[in-house]
Amino acid sequence: MVNSVLARVGDKWSVLVVTILADGPRRFNELKRQIGGVSQRMLTLTLRGLERDGLVTRTVTPSIPPRVDYELTDLGRSLQRHAIALAGWAIENQSVIEGARKAFDERHAASS
Amino acid sequence: MVNSVLARVGDKWSVLVVTILADGPRRFNELKRQIGGVSQRMLTLTLRGLERDGLVTRTVTPSIPPRVDYELTDLGRSLQRHAIALAGWAIENQSVIEGARKAFDERHAASS
DNA sequence: CAGAATCCTACGAGATACTG
DNA sequence: CAGTATCTCGTAGGATTCTG
């Protein structure tokens, strides 16, 4: 359970969707355009997963053409805050981590 | 970059390793035993990744038999705090999420 | 427009065997 | 003990096609 939540935060598409929805509701193709590089399939699956977990709501307006809006729930927003905190940590320590990676890679290039 | 950090937190083995190392240094096979269900390969890869990012240190004692200790760095501990915060969130909202999932699944079982 | 269904492929990850 | 190397298989995920 805890694990599946952590997996959500580690999932690229979920994070991007939640980030965009933080600015307000979006329609399916708006999301698709703003994310760019996501397949219809993955976007659908991601949205289903988020909806299933109660992180976003899916509102269908039965018109022609049909219209579907996705929006963050309160739960979704509270998770987003934590994701942002983590992203903040990543940004703060970005140079440290990059330095560590570089040093590691050089150490291992030398041993080859 | 931010994404790769989020992926770390979403990675099952990385989280488990970091959690165990929070209690103090461990040797390779100690980790393997305590985690249980991880293959040598995945544990090795996970540790390499964590080491590369500067989250754990790898200390080799050249004896026979060889001895290798893994330990969290300060950076690793600071990340672990965030992971714990997130896990706390997951635990707090566990029932909400499970309820959402159950409702969602029932809603979709009905439509079949 | 929003999505379901299908096909196809690359990669993640387990099992096993070998080594310093 | 602490790995590396290889083989194999399942599945995540992209491209494409079809529909209410």
CATH label of the domain that carries residue B86: 1.10.10.10
Is the pLDDT assigned to residue A111 strictly greater than 60? no
Q: What is the pLDDT of residues B8-20, one digit of tens each?
A: 999 999 999 999 9
Query: For C13, which residue's CA is nearest its C1'?
Result: B42
The CA distance from A9 to the nearest CA of chain B, in Å, is 6
Contacts of B50 in chain A (CB under 8 A): none
**Domain tally for chain B?**
1
Give dist(CA A14, CA A65) in Å, integer: 26
Q: Which pTM does this prediction carry?
A: 0.93
> Residue B89 above 50 pLDDT?
yes
Angle of helix A2-10 relative to helix A12-21, nearest 10 degrees?
A: 80
Over residues B38-80, the pLDDT tens digits come to 999 999 999 999 999 999 999 999 999 999 999 999 999 999 9
Tokens at A47, concatenated: 């949205």
Full residue range of the structural domain in which residue B39 is found: 2-110
* Buried b or exposed e, range B69-91, using 16+ CB within 10 angstroms: bbebbebbeebbebbeebbebbe
Cross-chain residue pair B11–A10, CB shorter than 8 Å = yes
Average pLDDT, chain B: 94
Asked, as a colleague might, if the bond just before A25 is cis with ω within 30 of 0, I would say no
> From CA A10, how far away is CA A13, in angstroms rounded?
9
Please report the pLDDT score of residue B112 as a whole number.
41
Length B71 CA → C9 C1' (Å): 39
Which residues of chain B lie closer than 8 angstroms to A91, CB-CB?
2
Per-residue model confidence (pLDDT) at position A110: 62
